[in-house]
Amino acid sequence: MRKLTTMFLCVMLSCIGFLSGCSSDGLKALPEYQDNKEMMIGGWDSPINTLADYQLAKDMGLTHMFIDQYFASKGTKEYEDILKYCEEAGLKAIIGSGNNLTTESPEDATDYSVYPAVDMVNYWDEPSYRNFERLGELASAHKTRYEGKDMTFYANLNPSTAGGVYIEDNDYEKHLTDYCETVFDKIEGRKILSTDVYPLLEKNKVFSISNTWLANLEATATVAQKFGAEQHYFLLSTQHYNYRKVTEEEIRFQFYVDMAYGVKNFTYFTYTTSFINGWGHGAVDRFESGKTYDTYDFAKTVNSELKKFDHVYLSFDWKGTMPIVGTGNPDENNPAFDVLKYPLSSLEAAKSVTATADTLVGQFKDNDNNDGLIVTNYSDPRDGITDTVSFEFKNANRVIVYQKGERKLYEVKNGKFSISLDPGEGIFLIPVKLA
C-alpha cells in the first residue's frame, strides 16, 4: 500500500501544473535522462589551506577549484595537502603551470596524474594571439607527458574587447579559430574553449549590461561546435573595476544567458576575496577560516537549483539561439541583439514565440531528437522586470519545465503555453507529445 501511495504522489507531483489529461500510461512517454552527468562549477582563487575550507567550497556546490600558489608553493608539503583536501572534499583541482596571474611560468615536470583530485592543468590565462604558437608547443608537451592518462589541457582566452585579440574586421571568430587550430589538434580527449566576459556593469550607480556579451557567446558557441569542444565561461561574483557587486538574481541571470548559448562549464570569479586593493569581497574571506559573505549564500542557492537538473541539460546539444525583443521594450530594439551574426529567426518546436521583455531562447536537441529550450529573461535584473513568454508549439500537448530546479509538467492546450519569468530568471523547457 505504501508503494502504491508513493507512485500516486509521484504522478500528482509531476502533474502539478495542470491535472487534466495526465495519466500513468501517458507519463511513460516522457523522456527520461540518466543522472550520470554533472555541470562543472568552479572557483577562482583557492581558499585557506584547510580541509574545512575546501569542504566549505564543496558545500557551496562547487565541483572544481583553480589552485593558485598564494597559500602554498608547488613542490611543498602544503601544496600536496591542498590536493589531498580537494580529494577528501570531493573537489576536482585545476592546477596552474605557475602562478595563475602571470602569463607563463617555467614548466613543472611533476606528473600530476598521480593525484586523484587533479583534473586539468591551466597553462595560460588570457594569452595574446601572438602566444598561440607557444600554447601549441605546451599542448604537445602536455600530450606527451599525459598520454593515455585522463588529464585535460586548459587555457583561458581573452574576450573580444580585451587586448591581444585578433581584431581585423572585428573577427573574434578568427581569433578563437586560430587558437583551436593551433592547440586542439595537438591534444587528445576533452577540449575546452574558455573565456571570461563580465557583463554586469555599474558606473556612478547606473547599471547596464555589456553589449558585447552575446556576441562573444555566439562566437565561442559557433567555434566550439565546429571543433567538438566544450565551452567554459567565468561568472562575475566579485565586484571589481566597473563590474558591479552581484545579487542572487544576477548570478542566476549569468548562468542562464550563458546556457542559452550552450555553455556547460562555469567558474566563479572570484571564490576567495582577492588580494587586489579596491576589489569587493568574494564568496569567502581570504584570511579568516570559514568566514563567508552573502555571495556564498547566493551562489549556493543557484548552484543547488542547477544541480537538480544539470544531467538533463547536459543531455542536450546547442543548435542556435533566438533573441526576442520584448513587446514592452520602449526602444523596440536591443543593441546586443543587433550585432549578432547568426541569430535564429524561428524555433523547430514552435510556430511562434513572443515575450513581454527582451528574451533569449536557446534551441537544443537530445540524442532522441527531443527539443529542449533554455528561455531567459534578458532584461537587466536591476530593472525588476517580469517577463511573460508565450509559445505556440507545433506538436506538443505537454511541456516539462525546470524552473529554479523544480520539475513540473504542464498541459499545452491547442499548442499554446505561457510562463512568467522573474527578473534574472531562466528555465529549461522540453515540449512533448503524449499519447
The CATH number that applies at residue 248 is 3.20.20.80
Residue appearing with cell numbers 513572443: 354
321 and 301 assigned to the same domain: no
For residue 336, the enclosing domain spans 2-30+317-432
CA dihedral over 61, 65, 71, 72, signed as positive or negative: positive
Residue ending a domain, among 292, 312, 332, is 312
Question: What burial class does residue 246 get, using C-beta atoms within 10 Å of its C-beta: 0-12 exposed, 13-18 middle, 19+ buried?
Answer: buried
Count of Cβ atoms closer than 10 Å to residue 234 Cβ? 21
Q: Is 35 a member of any domain?
A: no
279 and 199 assigned to the same domain: yes
Helix residue spans in 68-212 (DSSP H): 77-89, 132-145, 172-183
Contact 127, 135 (CB under 8 A): yes
Domain count, the chain: 2
Residue ending a domain, among 294, 312, 330, is 312
327 and 206 assigned to the same domain: no
176 and 59 assigned to the same domain: yes
- The backbone torsions φ and ψ at residue 190, rounded to the nearest 5 degrees and listed phi first, read -65, 135
pTM: 0.93
Q: Is 275 a member of any domain?
A: yes
Residue ending a domain, among 259, 285, 312, is 312
214 and 184 assigned to the same domain: yes
Contact 123, 105 (CB under 8 A): no
| Per-residue buried b or exposed e for 204-222, using 16+ beta carbons within 10 Å of the residue's own CB | eeeeebbbbbbbbbbbbbb
- For residue 403, the domain's CATH number is 2.60.40
Do you find a cis peptide bond into 270, omega within 30 degrees of 0? yes
pLDDT tens, N- to C-terminus, the chain (435 residues): 333 333 333 433 444 433 333 434 444 479 999 999 999 999 999 999 999 999 999 999 999 999 999 999 998 999 999 999 999 999 999 998 754 434 444 456 789 999 999 999 999 999 999 999 999 999 999 999 999 999 999 999 999 998 888 766 668 999 999 999 999 999 999 999 999 999 999 999 999 999 999 999 999 999 999 999 999 999 999 999 999 999 999 999 999 999 999 999 999 999 999 999 999 999 999 999 999 999 999 999 999 999 999 999 999 999 999 999 999 999 999 999 999 999 999 999 999 999 999 999 999 999 999 999 999 999 999 999 999 999 999 999 999 999 999 999 999 999 999 999 999 999 999 999 997
350 and 277 assigned to the same domain: no
301 and 364 assigned to the same domain: no
Query: Which amino acid is located at 20 in the chain?
Result: S
Count of Cβ atoms closer than 10 Å to residue 430 Cβ? 24
